[in-house]
Chain A
Amino acid sequence: DAGVIQSPRHEVTEMGQEVTLRCKPISGHNSLFWYRQTMMRGLELLIYFNNNVPIDDSGMPEDRFSAKMPNASFSTLKIQPSEPRDSAVYFCASSPFGVSYNEQFFGPGTRLTVL
C-alpha cells in the first residue's frame, strides 16, 4: 500500500487566497484525521471523520476552515481566505476499524506558507 497520500507537499500562497489541501487515506481505513502542526502550538487535531461523516470538528480554528470527505478515498481541507497565521504543516492521518484504539497512519504532510 502507498500509505496516506497528501498533496501538495508544499504550498506557498498570498494572504486572502483560497488554499485546498488534499488527502487520500489508506484503502480500507474508515477514519480520517486532519492535524495542524506549528512550533507554538504543537500538533493539533482539527477534525476527524468516521465513515466519511465528520465526528468532531471542534478543533477547526474558525469559519475560514472547512473540511469535506465526499467518499472513502478522498478528503479536502480548505482555508478561505488564508492568513499568514495559517502557515503550518498540515497532516492527514487514517486509521482502520472506525474510531477505535488503533494507531493512526500519517501522511507526509503539507507545508503551507501564507505570505
Chain B
Amino acid sequence: AQTVTQSQPEMSVQEAETVTLSCTYDTSESDYYLFWYKQPPSRQMILVIRQEAYKQQNATENRFSVNFQKAAKSFSLKISDSQLGDAAMYFCASHTGNQFYFGTGTSLTVIP
C-alpha cells in the first residue's frame, strides 16, 4: 500500500522568510503524481503545486517550489518570501493508478 507521511504537525515561519515542509511517501509504482494542497481556515482545499514522478525537474509555482527526490521518496515544499496569507494546513498527497493518499497535514503559522 502507498502511504504519505508528513512528520511535522506544526511549523512556523517569520514573514518574508523561507520555510520547507517535509513529505515522504512509499510506493512500489513507477508512475505516480504528487501534490501539495493548502487548506486555509476557510477549509477550502486548494492545489498549490504538482509533480509528475517521471519528470526530473522540480516543479515551481511562483513562491512555491518542491524538492523531489525520487530515490529517497521525498517531496518537500519550499515557500519563499512567506506571507501572512500562507498560514494554513498543508497536505501532501499522492496519486497512482486508482489510489489516492493524503498525509496528515502540517499546520503552518506565519509570524508577522
Contacts and interface: CB of A to CB of B under 8 A. Distances in A.
Q: Is the interface of A mostly helix, strand, loop or mixed?
A: strand
Contact of B44 (A35, A48, A56, A106): A106
Which of B43, B91, B101, B103 is most buried by chain A, counting CB atoms within 10 A of its CB? B43
Which of A35, A103, A108 is most buried by chain B, counting CB atoms within 10 A of its CB? A103
B104 A42 contact: yes
B69 to A, nearest CB: 19
B38 to A, nearest CB: 11
Interface stretch (B15-23, B45-53, B77-85): B45-53
Contacts of A106: 37, 44-46
Contacts of A101: 32-33, 52, 95
Given A45-B100, A91-B45, 17 more contacts: A35-B102, A42-B105, A43-B102, A43-B105, A45-B102, A55-B98, A89-B43, A99-B98, A101-B32, A101-B33, A101-B52, A103-B50, A106-B44, A106-B45, A108-B43, A108-B44, A109-B44
Interface of A: 33, 35, 42-45, 48, 55-56, 89, 91, 93, 99, 101, 103-106, 108-109
